[in-house]
Amino acid sequence: MLDFTSNKSIAIISSFFLIFVVIVPYYGFRFFRRQSKRSSVNISDKLSLTVGHASATGKRPTMEDDVLLALDISPEYAVYEAACHSRVSAFGVFDGHCGSEIAKHAAQNYRKFIQAQVQVFNPTPAQTCEGIKQSFLDFDSSTKRIPAGSTACVAFITPQHELFVANAGDSRAILIENNHPVSMSIDHKPSRESEKQRLLKAGAEVRPTTVVQSGCVLQLGPARIWPGGLSVSRGFGDHGMKDEVKMALGGFVQSQNLSWAEKQLVSPFPEIRYTELTQQSQAVILACDGLFDVMTNSDVVKIFNQQLPRLMIKAIEQVAIRNIEKSESEEQQGIIKKFIHGMQRSYARLKFSFLHELDDYKLTDELLLQADFLCAQMLSDKLVSLALQRETTDNVTVVVGLLRWKDTRKTARQWRELMKDEGLFSQFKKLLHKQNEVSCSETEDIQKDVQLWISPDDPSKQWIY
> pLDDT per residue over 174-217, tens digit each?
999 999 999 999 999 999 999 999 999 999 999 998 776 766 76
- pTM recorded for the entire structure: 0.83
Q: Which position has the higher pLDDT, 293 or 328?
A: 293
Q: Which residues contact 380 (CB under 8 A, 6 or more apart)?
A: 52, 53, 54, 398, 399, 400
Predicted local confidence at residue 75, as pLDDT: 64
Distance in angstroms (rounded) separating the CA atoms of residues 19 and 342: 10
Considering only CA atoms, give the Rg of the chain: 25
| Span 266-275, pLDDT tens digits | 999 999 999 9
Predicted local confidence at residue 7, as pLDDT: 60
- Buried-exposed string 189-213: b where 16+ CB fall within 10 A, e elsewhere: bbebebbbbbbebbbbebebeeeee
Alpha carbon of residue 287 to chain centroid:
5
Predicted local confidence at residue 438, as pLDDT: 40
For residue 309, the tally of other CB atoms under 10 A from its CB is: 22
Write the CA distances from 388 to 170, 329, 376, 385, 397, integer angstroms.
19, 43, 19, 5, 11
Dihedral over Cα of 298, 300, 302, 305: its sign: negative
Distance in angstroms (rounded) separating the CA atoms of residues 165 and 133: 11
Distance in angstroms (rounded) separating the CA atoms of residues 206 and 226: 6
| Span 207-250, pLDDT tens digits | 998 776 766 767 788 999 999 999 999 999 999 998 776 777 77
Q: Please name which of 170, 120, 124 lies closest in space to residue 149, comparing C-alpha atoms.
A: 170
Predicted local confidence at residue 244, as pLDDT: 73
Most confident of 252-261, 313-322, 450-459: 450-459
List the single range of 51-55, 278-282, 311-315, 438-442 with lowest mean pLDDT: 438-442
> 10-185+279-436 adopts what CATH topology?
Phosphatase 2c; domain 1 (3.60.40)
Mean pLDDT of 127-136: 97
Most confident of 19-33, 153-167, 410-424: 153-167
- The domain segmentation of the chain, as residue ranges, is 10-185+279-436, 193-231+235-267
Ordered alpha helix ranges (H), 72-124? 101-115
Q: Can the peptide bond before residue 309 be classed as cis, meaning omega within 30 degrees of 0? A: no
Distance in angstroms (rounded) separating the CA atoms of residues 203 and 175: 36
For residue 419, the tally of other CB atoms under 10 A from its CB is: 15
Mean pLDDT, the chain, whole residue set: 83
